[in-house]
Amino acid sequence: MNRQEGSLSTVSKKPRFFYGYIVVISGFIVMTIIWATIQSFGVFLKPMSAEFGWTRAMTSGSLSLTFFTLGFLFIVTGRLNDRFGPRIVATVCGFFLGLGYLLMSQISALWQLYLLYGVFVAMGVSTGLVPMASTVTRWFVKSRGMMTAITLSGVGAGGLVGPPVANHLISNYGWRTSYLIMGIVALVLIIAVAQFLRRDPSQKGLFPYGDIEAETESLNSEVEGTSLSQATRTWQFWMLSFIYLCFGFGTAAIMVHIVPYATDLGISPLTAANILAITGGVGIVGRIGIGRISDRTGNKLAFIISLVLLSVSCVCLLVAKELWMFRLFAVLFGIGLGGGAVFASPAVAELFGLRAHGAILGMITFGLTLGSAAGPVITGYIFDTVSSYYLAFLVCAILSVIGLIMAAFLRFPVREALRKPPETKALVR
């Protein structure tokens, strides 16, 4: 009997209350706080640029640096989450996120903006997508898509509350004091909530959620999974990475520049911030709805639906001139963005198992962050050059369609094809 088999007898099969729900709620709160702050950047963009005389490309470049740095940090935090668990990772990262925003209230030069967003804020945000999604994936077999969706709905909830609150704070207290308040809230709340997180059910003497047959299969096979090096030798890994590069470029570019774009057309700053808030609120519905679809019909169809809606929203944005058109865009964009974000973690589990889930998800998410880094700064550069967002948003639409086409060619599963009899024994220690 191997160690994994021996552990089955010590795991409770019918707990009175499943602790995985606490993990989901905690992950949702952490994601909400992180993305409420990061998605408020577009609201801060104009006041900061105006005070220092920076161009939009110069200012938005700091957020691009954040996403670029995140590409590497997600690989690191994914590995650390596999080894030490989310409680330690989220506590440390929450400290850096809060500190970054506290220091943002004191900046006086462009290099300080890039340092704080590119290092401190990036380190804080790195506790979000990969560690939280990977943790929830370990806790659930049945309803995995739904539980991942609920956790990642924090991105939408953050987008719902962050921009309007930031706009209110800036209007009443200025952008410096607003960053000070954001830093205190992020520091205290993330560190407090992190104490409820656990890496997997075994730390509470439990099975992953689901019927006994599914739980046993998960423990005996998915925990084995494939290694990071095995995963990187598959075309599915690289295709998924490129799809998320396209996804990240378009979504980040639009989220950073939608508020300046709307205000340039005569829409008030508050109303423009509310457009971004709509995408966040609808994104919650999109994540949960797409998560439900993925549990019922599979990850691939759910992902394709998300990318179709995202592509249509980009086309709507190209012709949007009036407020109702922006609201229509926000609904379609929010659902597409939310559903696309849910897909990655369950897909990695289905393709490659849970053995190195955090590390593999971190590597694939590098494509997302690379695109997210390039999108805002290239969009800002195009605007500074031609004084229009049309060409930049056209690029976003084209990349979204390319991602959609590539998603149609994804094939599941990969994991069984990678396994060889001699390796199976080595994987189960």
pTM recorded for the entire structure: 0.71
Residue type (1 letter), 386: V
- Res 101 pLDDT > 90: yes
- Res 291 pLDDT > 70: yes
Residue type (1 letter), 189: L
Tokens at residue 322, please? Answer: 């009036």
Give 295's pLDDT tier (boundaries 50, 70, 90).
Answer: confident
Task: Please write the tens of the pLDDT for every residue from 34-68.
Answer: 989 988 887 888 888 888 888 877 887 888 788 78
Calpha distance 142→90 (Å, rounded) = 25
Classified as helix, coil or strand, 126 is coil
Calpha distance 8→11 (Å, rounded) = 5
Look over the chain and give the mean of its residue pLDDT values, rounded to a whole number: 81
- Domains in the chain and their CATH numbers? 18-206+217-410 (1.20.1250.20)
Task: Please write the tens of the pLDDT for every residue from 216-251.
Answer: 454 444 456 677 788 888 888 898 889 989 998 988
Calpha distance 215→193 (Å, rounded) = 27
Say if residues 374 and 367 touch (Cβ distance below 8 Å): no
Q: Which helix (H) or strand (E) holds 2?
A: none
Give 4's pLDDT tier (boundaries 50, 70, 90).
Answer: very low
- Res 15 pLDDT > 70: no
Tokens at residue 61, please? Answer: 């470049």
Calpha distance 369→429 (Å, rounded) = 34
Say if residues 243 and 348 touch (Cβ distance below 8 Å): no
Which residue, among 222, 188, 317, 220, has the nearest Cα to 265 in the 3D structure?
Answer: 317
